[in-house]
Amino acid sequence: MNAPLAHQHLLDSATLPSAWRALAERCAQPALVTDTTRRITWANAAFSEVTGYSLEEALGRSPGELLQCEQTDPTTIQRVRDALNRGQSIRCQLLNRSRQGRLYWLDMDIHPFGLAGEAPRGFVALAMDMTAQHELQEREAAHARRLKALFDLSPLGLALFDMETKRPIECNAALSRINGFSRADILSGEAMRHVPDAHLPVREVWMASVRLGEPFGPLESVILHRDGHRVDVSMSGASTQEPGGRRMAWLMVQDISKRRTTERLLAESARRDTLTGLPNRNRLDDHLEHMLARTHAEAGWGFAVLLMDVDRFKVINESLGHDAGDSLLVSLAERLKQAVMVSARLVSGIDSLAAAEQEGWLIARFGGDEFAIVAPGLSTQLAAASFAEVVNGQLQPSHRISGLEIQTTVSIGIALAHAGTAAAVNLVRDADTAMYEAKRLGRRQYAFFDERMRSRISRALHIEEGLRHAHIRGQLRLVFQPIVDLETGLPTAAESLLRWTHPTLGQVPPDEFIAVAEETGQIVELGRWALFESCAAWTRMHREAPEVAPQRISVNLSRIQMDDGLRLLATVRAALTDTRMPPEALQLEITEREVMSDPDGARQLIDTLRRMGVRIAMDDFGTGSSSLACLREYAFDTVKIDKSFVKDLCRDAHVMAVAHATVSVIENLGMISVAEGVEDDGEVAALQGMGCRYGQGWRFGRPMDEAALLAMFKAAYQR
């Protein structure tokens, strides 16, 4: 209790004159006084504010004991002790901890005091809080460390140039990895002596940008690696000016070799078919433009374009699987190469495929199962036909696919290019038109494009245009063909059939306009119209004559309608609701072709329709390659036997046997059999004998309008 009073007495009586004490107490910086044992005898308010200790708490205690902590630098502490032991002044910076635990920095200026010629009577210390300055320095140091780490670890090659000497003064490890030169070689300028000519323009642009003080790049260039190979790089940079006026420039280098390699591969793959390795349509189009330019430049010179489609490829693909289909396409590509070699050798004496390509021959995969060949110099039909025969000859041997011997042919459309050919697109279009003409003629055929084909195309375009508004303009109508019970001879149902009268073309055959509608997607709207009108017709007939009207109406579906199953279901539901037709009175007819285009989707759609109460019929049974499988896999209510079975029923015992077996299978599976195309009494008798339940055909009535159909039903049931 007495120690603080003694210290206070020392402070008041001898330590500081009153004027100096007043000044020290009002000083904004911490100040304290210790005795010779280094115990605090006085401290000002600023000291208490910084340290958190009041004067009463600080008196009699050592500043080190009071303020220093484990983070305080022991070396600096020892320096202070040594100076004070010698009675000398010292200035230092110490990290301390406040009473509340806050770390802070003090700049301490410590001096001994006493009478002249005597030993020091104590020490006075003036301090300055340097915490903010230290924190700023630490942030700047951390920032510098991060920048250095960024420089050292950056994947970009970095170099700093002194623009007075044009030499680098700093570089990072990434730059060495990119160009293969060591840091010493780069800084000595050795690496700069290995610059390819392709890089010189980029270097000049960089120098010009530096002189103008503008950012540079990014520009792509090429540099030489130390081992001699070229490296694709992207370069950019910026210049800075040092305080003394010296201009420095940063150069950033990115290795883009992998990217450029990928781009080249992608560019090549964009022009080449991945399956066969042949050029694709993009490459074909470019090649045709080049060949046409030669045709226009050289009088009398021309070439042929052969576009070919694999016959029955869909059957092969679907029956053996897509992998087998792909293998067949690869095999066909190799055969086509041989065909080109044979003809190129005969025409130009060429003995390699590479030489043939140099001459202008090109084999391309046009898409799917279609191939194209450009045959230079074949400017006449005779020459092009001879080459088509060579192609057919090379393709004639069977292909070994999935352990099977597969025989296949192609249909070939040929267009001849000459000086009057305007564009490559016209040439491909004409060859495509001729190819479909060849398909119409039968398998393993070729056809040359002529203007008559263009006329057929023009008619197809007229049909397409007319179909857009046919139902709005009242040009469509429905006719109905009765379906008859073969045991009683009474009509029970009817199939609705769509008819169209074009204002200028007249009656357009259904097969013609429906094919166009399916190709253009217009069949969806036509099918919707036919479905609603068929349901409405059933309702009208039942309102007028409910006892004799057809029990159900059959409506045909197309593959395009089935592709959008959700829309079809909504359309069927809306038609039934709007016309108040019971679901079981509607029968939708689909063919094997529609089913097999999407087997899983078709199964789900059929099941959903049957749950709605709608009946499903398989139409044209026997025309596909997997009809029996369809009967086993799908829940049909009715199976309509194709008219090809009925046509020779009474003239061919084999046909009779197949038809009889077919009816037996259908009936044994719990389905209803309907024979299509029945034309005479002999066929009726034969069908009755084999147990077929229903018949449809001209023998019972040709397609008729609604009124005639109802009149026929009334007459039949009134007899």
pLDDT tens string 657-678: 988 988 999 999 999 999 999 9
pLDDT in tens, 268-309: 777 888 899 899 988 999 999 999 999 888 888 899 999 999
Write the DSSP string, 334-376.
Answer: HHHHHHHHHHHHHHH---SHHHHHHHT-EEEEEETTEEEEEEE
pLDDT, position 626: 55
Pairing label, strands 410-417, 446-448: parallel
Phi-psi region of 122 (alpha: psi -120 to 50; beta: other; left: phi over 0): left
Domain boundaries, the chain: 2-136, 154-261, 271-449, 462-714
pLDDT, position 672: 94
Write the DSSP symbol of residue 300. T
Question: In terms of pLDDT, which residue wins out, 150 or 482?
Answer: 482
pLDDT, position 234: 87
The one-letter amino acid code at 126 reads L
Average confidence (pLDDT) over 11-21:
55
pLDDT, position 222: 82
pLDDT in tens, 217-261: 788 888 888 888 888 888 888 888 777 778 888 888 889 888 888
Phi, psi of 449 (to 5 degrees): -70, 140
pLDDT in tens, 167-189: 888 888 888 888 888 888 888 87
Does 265 have pLDDT greater than 60? Answer: yes
Please provide the average confidence, as pLDDT, over all residues in the chain.
86
Contact 440, 419 (CB under 8 A): no
pLDDT in tens, 463-499: 888 998 898 889 999 999 999 999 999 999 999 999 9
User: Contacts by 468-477 with C-beta closer than 8 Å and gap 24+?
Assistant: 468/522, 470/500, 470/502, 470/526, 471/525, 471/526, 471/529, 475/500, 475/501, 475/502, 475/503, 476/500, 476/526, 476/529, 476/530, 477/501, 477/705
Residues in a beta bridge with 230 = 224
Question: What is the Cα–Cα distance from 371 to 204, expressed in whole angstroms?
Answer: 50
Question: Residue 285, Cβ neighbours under 10 Å: how many?
Answer: 16
pLDDT in tens, 606-651: 999 999 999 999 998 877 655 677 787 888 999 999 888 888 888 8
Burial 617-630 (b: 16+ CB within 10 A, else e): bbbbbbebebbeeb
Share of the chain above pLDDT 70, in %: 95
pLDDT, position 620: 87
* Residue 582's pLDDT band (cuts 50, 70, 90): very high
Question: In terms of pLDDT, which residue wins out, 479 or 418?
Answer: 479
Phi, psi of 24 (to 5 degrees): -65, -40
pLDDT in tens, 363-415: 999 888 999 999 998 989 999 999 999 999 998 888 888 888 888 889 999 99
What residues contact 398, with CB distance under 8 A and at least 6 apart?
405, 406, 407
Tokens of 304: 């042929």
Please indicate, yes or no, whether the overall pTM of this predicted structure exceeds 0.75. Answer: no
Establish whether the linkage from the previous residue to 218 is cis, with ω within 30° of 0.
yes
Question: What is the Cα–Cα distance from 102 to 21, expressed in whole angstroms?
Answer: 28
The one-letter amino acid code at 238 reads A
Tokens of 580: 């108040």
CA 212 vs CA 160, 204, 205, 245, 247: distances in Å: 17, 12, 11, 15, 11
pLDDT, position 91: 93
Hey, do 2-136 and 154-261 end up sharing a CATH topology, with the first three levels equal?
A: yes
- Degrees to nearest 5, angle at CA 304 with 300 and 309: 170
Strands (E) located in 36-73: 40-43
Q: Which fold has domain 462-714?
A: TIM Barrel (3.20.20)
* Residue 18's pLDDT band (cuts 50, 70, 90): low
* Residue 4's pLDDT band (cuts 50, 70, 90): very low
**Helix ranges (DSSP H) in 442-475:** 451-467
Q: Which fold has domain 154-261?
A: Beta-Lactamase (3.30.450)
* Residue 682's pLDDT band (cuts 50, 70, 90): very high
* Residue 12's pLDDT band (cuts 50, 70, 90): very low
Contact 660, 690 (CB under 8 A): yes
Q: Which fold has domain 271-449?
A: Alpha-Beta Plaits (3.30.70)
Does 589 have pLDDT greater than 80? Answer: yes
Residues in a beta bridge with 561 = none
Q: Which fold has domain 2-136?
A: Beta-Lactamase (3.30.450)
Question: What is the Cα–Cα distance from 527 to 532, expressed in whole angstroms?
Answer: 9
Q: How many helices (H) and strands (E) does the chain have?
A: 29, 26
Question: What is the Cα–Cα distance from 486 to 686, expressed in whole angstroms?
Answer: 10
Of 103, 89, 115, the C-alpha closest to 14 is 115
Question: What is the Cα–Cα distance from 281 to 160, expressed in whole angstroms?
Answer: 49
Write the DSSP symbol of residue 622. T
